[in-house]
Amino acid sequence: MTTANWRPESLAAQALGWIDAKTGAVSPPIHMSSTFLRDPDNQYRTGHIYIRDDNPAFEQVEALLTKLEGGASALVFASGMAAVTSVFLAHKPGDHVLVAEHVYYGVRKWLNGFAKPWGLAVDYVDMSNLDAVKRAFRPGQTKLIWTETPANPVWTITDLAAIASIAHASGAKVAVDSTVATPVFCKPIALGVDIVMHSATKFLNGHSDICAGALITRQEDEMWERLWTIRTQLGSIIGSMEAWLLLRGMRSLFPRVQWAARSAQQLAEKLQAHPFVASVLYPGLADFPGHAIAARQMTGGFGAMLSIRVKGGETGAIRSAAHVNLWKRATSLGGTESLIEHRASIEGDASTTPKDLLRLSVGLEDAADLYDDLAAALDTGHRN
Ligand code: PLP
């Protein structure tokens, strides 16, 4: 069987067209074994030794991720944060990293609380301002630019090709958290990015029932070896069951996120006209800063995440969220169910998110139902 001319949608739907040679099963078996038999001549010809090194359960999902991102290899991790922190830990104390000022708040918290005391030099910079990036770059010392696009929860857009050329001119690497864009809407490696990261807990899995992360690399180089070693030595692997669930979720990735992104676009446009919405943050809106770059580097949609800034400040936002019915008040994103969250409340003291902001993860419900429910909650929240 050849999959050479299959489009990404087909590769995902059939998880690369894999069929179990022994049984003909179209859905893969779950290998639970933590250890694997050594050959009598002392070799390990299957390539499997011990679960912390590698696991047959990872192979198919890593192969699919590699293919969808157009990379050379992929690694799955116990969580998105395990994947993120591994990239920074692959550096040495004294190395300088430039990090986007808007990133998932857990990344900033870990960098400030752990990576800086450990010896990494970390500077935050507005990645949408290329001059600021060039000024903050320290040739020779800067080893990595870390960005996220669209960036949680204000959806700032990074011009990945431009950032890659700044980094590569001085031998640094670029890594991007592409959790929100997904391989459906953006292919960072084709734009010059070296490492793509996903919180696979979100859209890749898509069903809010596992915790997982992934890295995909442009090339299998020394950095990639270090990342494999870190995963193996720290044991930040996912279990066989989680790997299976991730692959199961990825089979429906394309229709799920395309549907959700269409709804997000409709919601963003309609919410702009709501009397209690001060502004809508969504890269698909023509007047959103970074829209032109997003339109160039994303294809087929702008993702299923948006935020609204609510009139009445923090109180107005929290009171509005209190009255939703169809939307669920919960953290996280990327599941079939739509979620609403007052971000500043979960991010705590270190939060830089506006206090009047509600983050919306759009799921698979009917878009008109979602609008009606949220519009009614905004109305009730402002009346009471
Ligand atoms: N990156 C983004 C954009 C996220 O939203 C999250 C979690 O919310 C993470 C990374 C961390 O992923 P995980 O929760 O799987 O560790």
Nearest-Å Rg of the Cα atoms of the chain is 21
Give the model's pLDDT for residue 351. Answer: 86
d(CA 281, CA 257): 18
Query: Do residues 203 and 277 lie in contact, with contact meaning Cβ atoms separated by under 8 Å?
Result: no
Instruction: Compute, in angstroms, the gap from residue 265 CA to the centroid of ligand 1.
Output: 22
pLDDT digits (tens, 9 = 90+) for 354-364: 999 999 999 99
Identify the residue whose tokens are 């999959």.
Answer: 3
- Which of 124, 143, 159, 177 is the catalytic position? 177
CB 199 near ligand 1, within 6 Å = yes
Give the model's pLDDT for residue 91. Answer: 98
CB 208 near ligand 1, within 6 Å = no
CB 81 near ligand 1, within 6 Å = yes
pLDDT digits (tens, 9 = 90+) for 26-84: 999 999 999 999 999 999 999 999 999 988 989 999 999 999 999 999 999 999 999 99
Mutate to test the pocket of ligand 1, among 87, 104, 210, 211 (most ligand atoms within 8 A of CB): 104
pLDDT digits (tens, 9 = 90+) for 170-205: 999 999 999 999 999 999 999 999 999 999 999 999
Query: Do residues 110 and 146 lie in contact, with contact meaning Cβ atoms separated by under 8 Å?
Result: no
Give the model's pLDDT for residue 384. Answer: 72
Give the model's pLDDT for residue 349. Answer: 80
Q: Is the pLDDT of residue 350 over 80?
A: no
Give the model's pLDDT for residue 383. Answer: 85
- Which of 187, 202, 248, 311 is the catalytic position? 202
Instruction: Compute, in angstroms, the gap from residue 48 CA to the centroid of ligand 1.
Output: 29
The question of whether 134 is a catalytic residue gets the answer no
The whole-chain average pLDDT of the chain stands at 97
The one-letter amino acid at 248: R
159 token code pair: 């011009």
CB 201 near ligand 1, within 6 Å = yes
d(CA 84, CA 199): 9
Strand runs (DSSP E) across the chain, as ranges? 73-77, 96-100, 121-125, 142-148, 173-177, 195-199, 213-217, 277-281, 305-310, 328-329, 339-342, 357-361
CB 79 near ligand 1, within 6 Å = yes
pLDDT digits (tens, 9 = 90+) for 153-164: 999 999 999 999
pTM of the predicted model over 0.85 = yes
Give the model's pLDDT for residue 314. Answer: 97
Question: Omega before 8 cis (within 30°)?
Answer: no
Q: Is the pLDDT of residue 339 over 80?
A: yes
Identify the residue whose tokens are 């446009």.
Answer: 269
Q: Which residues pair with 359 in a beta bridge?
A: 307, 341
CB 307 near ligand 1, within 6 Å = no
Query: Do residues 148 and 102 lie in contact, with contact meaning Cβ atoms separated by under 8 Å?
Result: yes
Give the model's pLDDT for residue 79. Answer: 98
CB neighbour burial string for 73-84, b if at least 16 within 10 angstroms, e if fewer: bbbbbbbbbbbb
- pLDDT above 70: percentage of residues in the chain: 100
Query: Do residues 194 and 217 lie in contact, with contact meaning Cβ atoms separated by under 8 Å?
Result: yes
pLDDT digits (tens, 9 = 90+) for 110-125: 999 999 999 999 999 9
Q: Is the pLDDT of residue 239 over 80?
A: yes
Instruction: Compute, in angstroms, the gap from residue 104 CA to the centroid of ligand 1.
Output: 7
The question of whether 52 is a catalytic residue gets the answer yes
The question of whether 104 is a catalytic residue gets the answer yes
Q: What is the DSSP secondary-structure string of 68-97?
A: HHT-SEEEEESSHHHHHHHHHHTS-TT-EE
Overall average pLDDT of the 257-275 stretch: 98
Question: Omega before 283 cis (within 30°)?
Answer: no
Identify the residue whose tokens are 């912390």.
Answer: 52
Identify the residue whose tokens are 């929860």.
Answer: 153
Q: What is the DSSP secondary-structure string of 230-273?
A: HHHHHT-PPPHHHHHHHHHHHTTHHHHHHHHHHHHHHHHHHHTT
The one-letter amino acid at 262: R
